Structure 1
Amino acid sequence: MVEIPAGEVELRDDRRKIKWTAEIRPFLLARYPVTVGQYDTINEQIRHTSDDELKPVVNISWHEAISFCNLLSQKEGLKVCYSVSSDGEQVICDWESNGYRLPTEAEWQYACKAGTTGYTYGELDKIAWFEINSEGKVHEVGTREPNPWGLYDMLGNVWEWCWDVYDEKVYGSYRIFRGGSWAEEERGCGATCRRRSHPTFCIDDLGFRVAKSF
């Protein structure tokens, strides 16, 4: 986990043409997306081959990512962050918990930019796996250059689920994911690029990384 300092970040929604500023408290963010090996170990299952162990886990829904966070917290003796209703529709986050959780959208963007001001934190071909250089597949984590704060694969390789609801009035329970993927064109792999989908949605270029409050 990497210590992310306090600060603030400006976010924008191009669809609604609005901007807002979010204050960021210090937090911890995983250096890499959750890998296949980590996911299978914590869930005590073998869903993948050994050749995939160091690749980001994909085809994971938002609900599955939340469940992984709680299970990881339990296994480490930490207080879980998420309370889930019996029908699975309502999820409440305890922000004071010492357990694992998904980053907020603001935390994710702030950590991705790592003090830089551009759309990307470096030359995309060097920092990300995307359409041009990925050969149409996901790659092992940590094989591109990190951002200035030592975080790998924040852009490209796999999209990453965030905690936030996108626009409840229009999209209901849709959640946000960030960062672009191996299948995206260059414009889809930027620090401010936003996508969203239903929390049950899963696909072969969407994963997640874990965060933790101090």
Structure 2
Amino acid sequence: MDDSAEHAMIAVPAGPVTLSDRRTQRSWTVEVAPCLIATYPVTRALYARVTGERPGAAVGGELPVEGVSWWDAVRFCNALSEREGLTRAYLLPADGGGDVERDTSADGYRLPTEAEWEHACRAGTAGPRYGPLDEIAWHRGNSEERIHAVGGKRPNPWGFHDMLGNVWEWCWDVYDAEVYGSYRVLRGGGWFDEHWSCRASVRRRSHPTFRVDDVGFRLARSAGH
């Protein structure tokens, strides 16, 4: 897979998406603006080319990068933007602590919001998944408890691969600031998850410094740039 294919983007149309949280029994509808989201999760090869780093233990350039924190992901977005002459989407605190601010006018790479992520994952479908799980996702039942190269399963109707299974994906959003502080949203399920965690609506949370071998991310950009 060449460099351009690794972060090829698909245009996501505007539309409403209803998110839900099983923990709080709450649901809410978000109007998603048009945006661009990457066909695949960021691969180890792309991450290494941009950062010079090879996190995680798995070996193989076409595997999704894993062992990356939310902070790693936003720094990568800025680094790739700079590499391609785009305006950085994130304003990072100089001391490495504090809050990250998003420049909504920037044309650079960023993480999808969880509403954008779910809208892209569902791709106009209404069920918990966009197809039979074994055909679309690597999960605990078929992964042999290991990560797999991106693009090995059938894409959803809009052309996105690996939205469910393989690696959980960091989103921009804070999960629940009042209860969990700075914890960020994870979506999609991973290669070690049972089938019930690999659904379009499932939300998980983790501290933005957390790194583990089934969490990665994919890129987004705002439309109109």
TM-score (normalizing by structure 2): 0.92
The question of whether the paired residues in 2 share the 8 Å contact of 1:54 and 1:141 is answered with yes
Is structure 2 residue 219 aligned with structure 1 residue 210? yes
Q: How does 1:25-174 map to 2 (within 5 A)?
A: 25-45=33-53, 51-87=59-95, 88-174=97-183
**What percentage of aligned pairs have identical amino acids?**
53
Q: Is the 8 A contact 1:73 1:79 kept in 2?
A: yes
Name the CA shift for 1:74/1:32 in 2 (closer, same or farther; >3 Å): same
SS in 1 for 2:170: strand
Maintained 8 Å contact 2:38/2:220: yes
After superposition, the C-alpha distances for 1:96-136 in whole angstroms (9 at most, x for unaligned) are: 21000000000000000000000000000000000010001
| Structure 2, unpaired ranges of 5+ | 1-8
Change (3 A) 1:57 1:13: same
- The TM-score normalised by the length of structure 1 is 0.97
Structure 1 85/48 Cα, relative in aligned 2: closer, same or farther at 3 Å? closer
Q: Shift in Å at residue 14 of structure 1?
A: 1.8
Residue aligning to 2:185? 176
1:66-121 deviation digits (Å, cap 9, x = unpaired)? 00000000000000000011232210011221000000000000000000000000
Asked if the contact 1:132/1:185 (under 8 Å) is kept, the reply is yes
- Relative to 1, partners in 2 of residues 1:202 and 1:47: Cα closer, same or farther, differing over 3 Å? closer
- Secondary structure of the residue that 1:52 maps to in structure 2? coil
How many residues are aligned here?
A: 214
**Cα distance change of structure 1 residues 89 and 59 upon mapping to structure 2, 3 Å threshold:** same
Deviations 1:6-57 (A, max 9, x none): 1010011222221111011110000000000000000134557995100000
| 2:54 is aligned with 1:21 | no
Shift of 1:137: 0.2
One-letter code aligned to 2:119:
Y
Tell which deviates more after alignment, 50-59 or 137-146. 50-59
| 1:100 aligned counterpart, secondary structure | coil
Change beyond 3 A, Cα 1:51–1:61: closer
Q: Secondary structure at the match of 2:131?
A: coil
RMSD: 1.4
**Gap change, CA 1:203 and 1:51, over 3 Å in 2:** closer
Decide whether the 8 Å contact of 2:21 with 2:202 is kept in 1. no
User: What letter is aligned with 1:60?
Assistant: V
Structure 2 counterpart SS, 1:164:
strand
- Describe the SS at the equivalent of 1:101: coil
Higher mean C-alpha deviation, range 10-19 or range 110-119: 10-19
